[in-house]
Amino acid sequence: MPAYVPPGWPSGVHPPGTEDFERTAQAWLLDVVPPDYRLHGVLRRYPLALAAMAAHHTKACVAGAREGYRNARTEVGAALPPHALEALLAAYRAEGRRLVATAEAVDLVARALRGEVFAPQLQDAARPGGQRPAAQRPEAEQSAERPAAGRPATGEPLPAQPASGPPPAPRPARDNAGKARKAPAQAQRPARNGGATSRKAKRDQHAAAS
């Protein structure tokens, strides 16, 4: 079974663990750095030292290309015709992409020289429902799954909350109807009291006549 190499691995370098890995890695790294780097015996003797210097060199190249692209209009923009300036910016963009790819490849080779073993990443479809692990999903996607503040995690609607405002409305009409049924009984009380007063007046008259 052929050894696995991650995406972005340089085509001229044999896979890690094979017989010619270090030799092809060293040859490729020497082509990445400036020619004068070959004068240093330590870089030709120790591929890992060469990979470290190649990583610093390529990162500096990426930073320089970005800075040059930002300053191209102010540094040479006035001295070039518009079509030439646009061509210069296009060259900066193309070189920037190439330098970024080279810096990433140097990083992969350096990691392999340090003994790191690369393995294929789990595919999204390998998980139930095609869902990626939370640690591998973007933060925006994870935050979309988090329940909003005050909302149950199950997705059920929130229970009704009392709204602040005017006092509650009067009770339903059935309560008023019950009170209306009691009203006649209360209205009869004056009549009973009036009858007692009339009987007392008759007793007083009878006592006076006797």
**How far is Cα 69 from Cα 87, in angstroms, rounded to an integer?**
12
21 Cβ neighbours under 8 A, 6+ residues apart:
13, 14, 15, 112
For 81-96, the pLDDT digits (tens) are 999 999 999 999 999 9
pLDDT band, very low/low/confident/very high, at 47 (cuts 50, 70, 90): very high
For 115-152, the pLDDT digits (tens) are 999 988 764 334 444 343 333 333 433 433 443 344 44
**How far is Cα 77 from Cα 196, in angstroms, rounded to an integer?**
117
CB of 96 closer than 8 Å to CB of 66: yes
Tokens of 176: 């008023």
pLDDT band, very low/low/confident/very high, at 162 (cuts 50, 70, 90): very low
Q: Global pTM?
A: 0.57
Higher pLDDT, 97 or 190: 97
